Every structure is written in C-alpha cells, then in structure tokens.
Amino acid sequence: MHKRYTSLDSNDRRDGRRFVPQKTLARAVRCRGIGLHTGARVTMTLHPAEPNAGIRFLRSDIADAVPIPARYDRVVDSRMCTVLGDGGGVTVSTVEHLMAALAGLGLDNLMVELDGPEVPAMDGSAAPFMFLAEEAGLIEQASPKRVVRVLEPVSVEADSWQVALSPSGGFSIEMEIEFASRAIARQCLDLAAVNRTFASELARARTFGFLEEVEQLRQAGLARGGSLDNAVVVSGNHILNEEGLRFPDEFVRHKALDAVGDLYLAGAQIIGHFRGVCSGHAATNRLLHALFRSRGAWAWDTMRRGDISRRAIKAHPSESVAAALAV
C-alpha cells in the first residue's frame, strides 16, 4: 500500500563523502493511551510519509482538519508541555516525548494521526514510541537528510533559567536542574553524542511532577491523566512510585529528553551543542526563535556520516505499556 523508498546511490556522493538518507516507516502502526494533561483516551497512528514531507500531526476527529507541521513556529502553548496549533484553534498537546523518540531514531518524514487532542502519555517516557516505530520498521528514502547546522552561539536567559546553542561537530546536550526537594536536588548531565546514546541514556527517563501541585494543575486543566503509571511523582522529599527510579538522575535525564524533542521542532536535526540550566519547554522554544532570527547563526546543510552514528537503536517497552502498543 505504501511506496517503498530506496536508499541513496553513488550519484548522491559529494566530495567523496556519502550523505545520510532520510527515513520514514515501512508501514503504519498505532497505539492507544491516555493523554497526560487532558486525560482523554486517544488512538495514535504513525503513517509513512514521502521524502521532504517532514513530521506532521493530523486531528482525524475534527472534520476538515489540516496537517500541523511539527515546527517551533507552530507552538501555541508551552506552560507544562509543548502544544502545536494550526492557527485556527485546532491543537495537539504534549508532542515532546514523541518528537524526542523520532529524533532519536532519525525519522524525518511521518504523518501522526490522532483521534483526540493529545499524544498518549504511555509510560511518560520516549521508549514506547521508539519501540512502536521499530515494530513498523524504518526504511531509507532517496533524498539526503537535511540538518540545521549551528554556526554561531545563540543564547536566551531570564532570572531563573538559561538556554544556549553553540557550534559543534555533532549533536550534544548539557543540562542542569535544581529543585528544593531532596529527592531531586541538583542534577547535571552532559551527553557528547546524543544520536548514539539517546536510546540507552535518555529514552526511558519518565516525566515527573509534585503531588503538592496536582490539584492546582488540574484546576488549570492540566495533569488530568497523570498517574504513577505514567510519571514519577514526588511528595516532599520522597518518591511515591513503588518501583523507584530507572536512573539515579532520572529527573535531569527526562529534562534532556524534553529538550531533544523540543529542539526537533527546528524542522530537522540540529547539529550543535545545547546547554540548558533550569530550563523547560518555553525556554527551548524561545531559543529556536532566537536562532532562526539570527540569519548568520545557522544554515541548512546535508547530514554527513560523521554527524550521526549508524548503529542500530533499540528500545524496549515496560510490561505496563506493551498491551497499549498491541492494538
């Protein structure tokens, strides 16, 4: 049913260096789950897409809805999650974990169909989405992968946070967080090669929240689907999840995961070094706006073999999400 694309041939070699091809899925695949903030039960279907189509979201529950490109300039809200909009009131919420998984897998072209307002939370990490895509299979396409190469440093900061992008030979990320709770305290993470290490170092890190804030968030229309099944919940200085943490520093790893997903809204993989200090979705989005306003700070380029590892990436879901994937 879907066109099978072939990889680049020798005619696509330039200066003796073979360029990396774009990727999509071999077939459509779907899952069901609960939205973290809306609490709505949603079916999500990932469809293959043609070369250069990019990542797009489509609300199939809304008549005459048009696809929403997964781009930083389509972000309409970033308070507690990243929300994309079509400019006419149609939105898709909490796209960051899925976008992080797609970035980690190097998927360029995809149509994400949803019959509700929010991407399913699954277990609160990116691992179930990686597993879902791998179940469908990844195929190369006959077009070179484009990247956004950072040429000059760009930064944005406020009293309590800072974000920056600087030139680098690949995609690396540095993240620092600090919370009053001793369950989190101050945590730092520095990953030199995100493309090679995303599955093992970031994908399984879950979103987190504070029990003391739940009622206030729900009154604001947020966290209505949050539970111990899809988030790490902190109460005072204690973690309420019986199984504990997946990493000793799972909190900063999830913040880095969020940043990977939000940065993929550049419209392509960023080749540069990202640094975030106590930052979140809004800060990363502001950074992308600042980057693309500075014409000399970035350039479109074609990904070379040295920019990303070709090593196979595998992520396995926990038992609690396996059933949701088998639909």
Tell me which of 37, 47, 273, 281 is the catalytic residue. 281
Contact, 132 vs 245, CB < 8 A?
no
Cα distance between residue 110 and residue 102, in whole Å: 9
Known catalytic residue at 47: no
Nearest Cα to 177, choosing from 113, 249, 73, 96? 249
- The residues carrying an active-site annotation are 281
